[in-house]
Amino acid sequence: MAKPSPDSKTPYLLILPYFVLYFAFGLFPILFSLFISFTSWNGFSTMTFVGVANYVRLFFHDAAFYKALYNTALVMVCALPLSIVLGLLLAAMLKDYFDRSRNVFQLINFLPYITTPVAIGILFQILFDWKAGAVNSILLAVGIVKAPIYWLGHPWPARAVVVLLLVWQGFGYMMVIFLAGLSTIPAELYEAAKIDGAKWRDTFFRITVPMLRPVMTFVLTTGIIVGFRLFDEPQLLFSGEGEPIGGPDHAVETVVMTFYQAAFRDFSFGYGAAIAYGLFIVIFFFSFVAMRIVNRGNDYGT
Amino acid sequence: MAPRRYRAIPVYAAVVLVSLAAFFPFYAMLMMSTYVSEQLFTGVKLLPGAFLLQNLKTILAIHYLHFYANSLVVAATHTVAAVFISALTGFAFAKYPFRHKKLLFYFILGSLMVPPQLGLVGFVVEMKFLGIVNSLFPLILPGIANAFGVFWMTQYIAAAVPTEILESAKMDGCTALRLFLQIVLPIIRPALVTIFLLFFLWSWNNYLTPLVIISREALYTVPLAISMIGSEYRTDYAARILALAVSTIPVLILFAAGSKQLIRGLTAGSIKG
Amino acid sequence: MTKRGVLFAVFAAVSAASLFAGGASESSSAPKSEVISIWAWDNSALSKRTYDAFSRVYPQYTIATTIVQSQDMEQKLQTALASGSDVPDVAWIEATYRGSLLALNIWEDISKPPYNFDKNKVIPYLIPLETTTSGVYVGPEVPSIGGMAYKRPLAKQYLGTDDPAQIAAMLPSWQAFIDKGKQVLQASNGKVFMLSSLWDALIFARQQTNTPFVVNGTQLNLDTAAAPILQQLVDMKRAGIVDTYEANSPSENASYADSTHIFYPCANWSVTFTIKRNDPNGSGRWGFIVAPGGPFPMGGTVQGVPIVAKHKMAAVTFLKYRYQSVAGAERLRDDQGYFSPLKSLYDNDSFYSKTDPYFGGQNLQKIFALDILAKISNPRLPNRYDQQINDAFNLAVQSLNTGANLSVADLIKMMEDDLVQRDPELVRG
């Protein structure tokens, strides 16, 4: 094989557009934000350099930041495993039991993922309305509860609604990823197991789950990264007039909501940028830990 | 196969049940868009109401189609550019040896960890310096260099495009760009479709960036325009929901059309063990 | 393949066209007139009528509104100021956001030359509300003032009369209101409430007091300022006379048309935008009185002109027309039912006089002008922490609303915790 010489310019030219665009509109704003995070600035008046004051405030005095971190992590810790398990089960069932109708079910369960988060926020706000929402109407009609539940008015029910929302929104995406993963598992493995008389449940736990481990790593890490960005849905879910930011007791105020509030509502670009960096540090840490746990000894990836 | 069918009934039931649960809010959205806002809070609406046309008039009155066009322009240009750049970069990483390749690839992977909000404050100011804050460019440009896309494309091209074909074409004097356009792109079509769908979806649904960048009404995208429906004193939920239901149409069409390709495009990518 | 080609070509053409069309679309209107850009949440036909009337008097100006909801105003202004473009010539600043927006050094003092908006013509109590801590007079507003509306049939059934004067006499104080409410509750077997929402109770209690919530810049003053407000809410809650609807929620809005909630806070703007809208078939069903505890300001939206705006002179010309001329006051009154801040109009009692069959023929304009507006003085001043205070109140009221047996001290602690947590520079009282 006549490989191009390592000094050839071609590959560099091919990757050049990516790196130019990334430096211009990805890295530069990030570094610029880092700089801004060391200042006190509202975006238009004179900028004052304040050193690490924003970070001192963030990490040592800002209880709201920690609460937001806790809220975000809590919602994620509940929602992510649920949507992974549900997505995995659904994918495995669709693959083994459905043939002609698989595409239809795939699309239906993917619908929530393609629905605009803005719509989901408003939709759930109406469905879970205390006085007149469909959910309470149904629960009352069936007789599961005697009095309507104040879903969006108490901290824990509000969190539960957000978890439900995220699971509903995300499991279809997980399902699709797992379906893709399943199609790479050699069919012989299943056939061999069947000859040995293994039931579906056995093959699921003995073949499917272990073989999908790299996919798990993928959905878990991307799930964490995306989970920490949570903003649209809770922002719109609790947009009513008498509503505190992030719902009752700020129970579902996420870090990005805190960031948005600081940077773009309270006119503190500097502090907002510091919150974003605080979040970055946390994400980095969590992803690292998650990858360690799931990967334990396996070396997948590139 | 009959005994298997029989035993599979619980599985069918479970899948149908989950699918119904997945579909219900979506269905509720469609139904809600046909009522007067106030009626939405008077019990469950399972059948269509009579106010679809009135709500349609409400959303057309705020020039909803204009904002819709904005969203289409942003999502389409952003997605085409991002898919192209991802594939081009992935091609280089998958099929060319070059110095610092590993380092550069890890750099791209590392940037996956970076939340996009990190640069948002700086980005607003940068757009001001560049003088393009009054255009749709601030919504199109970020994320064209998409680390996710490059990672995916590298994996896919490495697995799906036989090096021999590239070599022989090169022997015939094919340039790298023609190689990419005429040989690589057709082969990786499933992956292109997949990331096209996902990128389009993400761009179409983007809320935070337009929220903080766009202050001129003419440049609003769909998620921003929603808050214009109704007034300060009366939130027109029904019309808003209709607008949002209408806004799912393009992605719905794209995903319905590409639903088979979606899985195929994902297969050779990130998933390999 | 060709189909896809066509698709991409269309995409590309549409994209190119609209990417660059941004600037072009605005210059298409009459080139000579100067466009005053106003950021507002009201672009109804009624407010357009006022703008058109202005343009007829000043043909060199036209007005273009951009819809920005009150809660988005700060963020949109922030982005516009930071990006240095598309800053409006006039921005509406709603009461809740007034404190934080007025704390910013971004507003033109329109009372100074060359603009010379005459402060002396303005109703005196409004001026401090429209002035920043550094003394900049930001801009005028229509006085927004409140009383109490009630449903006549319910009043007749449970209070024995639907006559405004008799009802007002029956409810001289909030304690009397609570006592009456208990009787109503009993008489109706717990079905009829005096108020539909604890947030409505909050409006009365908060707006009828004027002690600052924050003193000396950053010191919380809740024990003095918030305690009486919360006490009133707790008393009402314990008496059971307030239903549990959330503030301006769709279900509360629906309650305007029902027959289980009697009283509502009612600002001059609520008549059109809240009551008539939520009870469209309620003509003759409503009555209005001055609230127990007296007249109070309710809402209010300052018209601010940013320093970096491009058409400041034109903007002030408009503000003078709308807020300092009789012609402007007539438009405000007749198109939107608003009152003018022009002091001289209240010297005679005929300018604001119009009976309203919807309110059983009461002369609402006259009551608002003479019995309420003329009697308001020293309202609570805007403060840069108003939003945080507001948020903390929402938190406390929401907790109280769900029936928890909370005391005033609990609620104050809750508010203080929340405030200090969000803004570490705030100091407990």
- Residue B23 maps to a domain: no
Tell me which range, B170-179, C20-29, C160-169, is most confidently predicted by mean pLDDT.
Answer: C160-169
How close C275 gets to chain A, by Cα (Å)?
17
Helical (H) or strand (E) element with C196: strand C193-197
Do the chains contact at A244 and C395, CB–CB below 8 Å? yes
Same fold, C32-143+300-346 and C146-296+381-422: yes
- The pLDDT confidence band at residue C125, using thresholds 50, 70 and 90, is very high
Tell me which range, A9-18, A124-133, A281-290, C71-80, is most confidently predicted by mean pLDDT.
Answer: A9-18
pLDDT per residue as tens digits for the range B130-139: 888 888 999 9
Question: pLDDT: is C32 or C230 the higher one?
Answer: C230
Q: How far apart are CA C381 and CA C98, in angstroms?
A: 10
- Flag whether residue B124 sits within 8 Å of chain C, measured between CB atoms: yes
Do the chains contact at B134 and C23, CB–CB below 8 Å? yes
How close C96 gets to chain A, by Cα (Å)?
11
Do the chains contact at A119 and B241, CB–CB below 8 Å? yes
- The pLDDT confidence band at residue B4, using thresholds 50, 70 and 90, is low
Q: From the list A33, A132, A300, which residue is nearest B42 (CB)?
A: A132
- Flag whether residue C22 sits within 8 Å of chain B, measured between CB atoms: yes
Domain range list for chain C: 32-143+300-346, 146-296+381-422
Q: How far apart are CA C199 and CA A241, in angstroms?
A: 10
Helical (H) or strand (E) element with C40: strand C34-40
DSSP A243: P
Q: How far apart are CA B72 and CA B50, in angstroms?
A: 29
Do the chains contact at C69 and B232, CB–CB below 8 Å? yes
Question: pLDDT: is A100 or A109 the higher one?
Answer: A109
Least confident of A196-210, A250-264, B47-61, B242-256: A196-210
Can you read off the two tokens belonging to residue A165? 């929302």
Do the chains contact at B38 and C254, CB–CB below 8 Å? yes
- Flag whether residue C403 sits within 8 Å of chain A, measured between CB atoms: no
Show Cβ contacts of residue C5 under 8 Å, excluding neighbours closer than 6 positions.
none
Among B94, B23, B170, which residue's Cα sits nearest to residue A104? B23
Total domain count, chain B: 1
Q: How confident is the model at residue A52, as a pLDDT?
A: 94
Q: How confident is the model at residue C263, as a pLDDT?
A: 97
Q: How far apart are CA B251 and CA C324, in angstroms?
A: 52
Mean pLDDT (chain C) is 89
ipTM of the complex: 0.88
Show Cβ contacts of residue A70 under 8 Å, excluding neighbours closer than 6 positions.
none
**A132 to chain C: closest CA residue:** C251
Residue C4 scores a pLDDT above 70 = no
Q: Name all domains of chain A by residue range, CATH numbers in brackets.
A: 42-295 (1.10.3720.10)
Residue C27 scores a pLDDT above 70 = no
CATH superfamily to which C146-296+381-422 belongs: Periplasmic binding protein-like II (3.40.190.10)
Question: pLDDT: is B56 or B228 the higher one?
Answer: B56
DSSP C342: B
Query: What value does the mean pLDDT take over residues C154-176?
Result: 96
C positions 198-217 inside 8 Å of A (CB): 199
Can you read off the two tokens belonging to residue B16? 């149908």
Q: How confident is the model at residue C31, as a pLDDT?
A: 52
CATH number at residue B231: 1.10.3720.10
Q: What is chain B's alpha carbon radius of gyration, rounded to the nearest angstrom?
A: 23
B positions 206-225 inside 8 Å of C (CB): 211-219
pLDDT per residue as tens digits for the range C200-228: 999 999 999 999 999 999 999 999 999 99
Q: How far apart are the first and last CA of chain C?
A: 72
Among C130, C95, C146, which residue's Cα sits nearest to residue C299? C95
Residue range C32-143+300-346 forms a domain whose CATH class is: alpha beta
Q: From the list A18, A97, A117, which residue is nearest B207 (CB)?
A: A117
Helices (DSSP H) in C43-94: which residue ranges?
45-57, 73-83
- Residue B27 maps to a domain: no
Show Cβ contacts of residue C426 under 8 Å, excluding neighbours closer than 6 positions.
C214, C218, C219, C220, C385, C388, C419, C420
Q: From the list B25, B97, B255, which residue is nearest A123 (CB)?
A: B25
Q: How far apart are CA C365 and CA C356, in angstroms?
A: 9
**B217 to chain C: closest CA residue:** C66
Residue C89 scores a pLDDT above 70 = yes
Q: Which chains touch C (3 or more CB pairs under 8 A)?
A: A, B
- The pLDDT confidence band at residue C365, using thresholds 50, 70 and 90, is very high
Residue C296, beta-bridge partner list: C146
**Preferred mutation among C28, C48, C79, C81 to probe B, highest tally of B CBs within 10 A:** C79
Q: How confident is the model at residue A298, as a pLDDT?
A: 53
Q: How confident is the model at residue B2, as a pLDDT?
A: 42
Residue C346 scores a pLDDT above 60 = yes
Question: pLDDT: is B20 or C26 the higher one?
Answer: B20
- Residue B230 maps to a domain: yes
The parent domain of residue B183 ranges over 52-267
Show Cβ contacts of residue C30 under 8 Å, excluding neighbours closer than 6 positions.
C62
**A65 to chain C: closest CA residue:** C422
Query: What value does the mean pLDDT take over residues C392-397?
Result: 93
Mean pLDDT (chain A) is 87
* φ, ψ dihedrals at C94, nearest 5°: -75, 160
Strands C261-267 and C145-151: antiparallel
- Flag whether residue C154 sits within 8 Å of chain A, measured between CB atoms: no
C positions 27-66 inside 8 Å of B (CB): 41-42, 44, 66
Residue C34, beta-bridge partner list: C61
Can you read off the two tokens belonging to residue B143? 């994320």
- The pLDDT confidence band at residue C2, using thresholds 50, 70 and 90, is very low
pLDDT per residue as tens digits for the range C98-112: 998 998 889 999 999
Per this entry, what is the length of chain A?
302
- Residue B17 maps to a domain: no
Q: From the list A132, A154, A267, which residue is nearest C104 (CB)?
A: A267
* Count of A-C CB contacts under 8 Å: 86
Contact at 8 Å (CB) between B226 and B210? no
Query: What value does the mean pLDDT take over residues A139-153?
Result: 87
* φ, ψ dihedrals at B218, nearest 5°: -60, -20
